[in-house]
Structure 1
Amino acid sequence: MDMLKAIAIGLPLTLLVTVLALLIGTVVALPLVAGLRSSNRAVWLLTRGIIDLLRGVPPVVWLFILYYGVSIGQLKMTALQAGVVGLGVVSGAYLAEIFRGAIGSVPQGQWEASSALGFMSSTAWLRVVGPQAWRTAIPSYTTYAIGLLKDSSIASTIGVAEIVFLSNQYARQSGEGILIFFIAAGVYILLSMPLGIFSRHLDTKMRKAVAR
């Protein structure tokens, strides 16, 4: 296996882990946000405890727990499944905070206007509050996606054959050492740049809109 081929083989799994973990994280974040906004003290405390636990333990530890410790009958998670689920659930805790902040930034007047127009709570969320909160959350959401792209390399610790795993394997077999890791770093930068530019563009656009 040559150097560029190792990177090319690992690239699809890097992207797959990132995208699936981000999707899982988004889904997990929604009930957590609801819990953080609950007026029920017990629900709030439980949700806060779950989020603090997920954020307080290093992601690599969660991956080890899922891969080596979780089994249902004869079923056992594959490395890819453990990597995606582990990173996805941890992402949910961070995204919940992003979404909570975005929802909190929606002016109270928008809620009151929705109520005055007779919108049901679900309608107000879908048509008024949700779109505004999402626009506010997008820059932070995109920035987090960039971080998750880099964190996908953690999955290499349990054997997911993504870029870092195959780069390390190539370096061990070829004896060429560090060069392939510089190439891998360049690939991560190239993948991150469009997201970074998009995030900064949205952030600048939102700041101008707020200033008007």
Structure 2
Amino acid sequence: MFTGIVEATGRVTAVDEGDDGRRLRIETDDIAAFSHGQSVAVDGVCLTVEEHGTGWFSVFLAEETVARTSLAGREEDDRVNLERALPADGRLDGHIVQGHVDTITEVVAVEQVGEDYRYTFTLPEGHERYVAEKGSVALDGVSLTVASVDDDAGTFDVALIPTTHAETTLGAREPGDEVNVEVDVVAKYVERLDTYQD
């Protein structure tokens, strides 16, 4: 489990394409050590560390991950958000994030409002009902609050504080860019339970 509080960003330094998926090597100076088999969220996607060394680790993206997430388009020198799994005694400062990306969405507009930044995204097709004003959503692994939803326009807005804008990859996103979306898992379970009520 993750919280959507990004620990650091990393840089993709190698991409290995294969018939069964992709392998990424990622470098970061901000996380001291990795271990084989540990879970790490890369742009919000829960992946397993295969190999690692000082300041780097590698992960494998299965076909499903490539098909469903924006990691299919990550190339050398791209920056990615990183978060290690939440320890049992850790603080849940964001919201419950599983690292199971539901789909991708697109940046529609970016506007600076005072010191903050307002980002507009398309409502993710098939997942519109899970995006609610003042609800939680993870975008590229960043825990955010939905500021507003415009069902007629098919968009929703989030506000980024200066720290989030500067310290995550969202600050570099522009209209037309794709980002990973994980909707609030609590909303999905509530809907599922409601389906089976008498």
Quick check: TM above 0.5? no
Considering Cα pairs closer than 8 Å and 6+ residues apart, tell me whether 1 or 2 has the greater RCO: 1
TM-score by length of 1: 0.22
The structure carrying a bigger helix percent of its residues is: 1
The structure carrying a bigger strand percent of its residues is: 2
| Larger gyration radius, structure 1 or structure 2 | 1
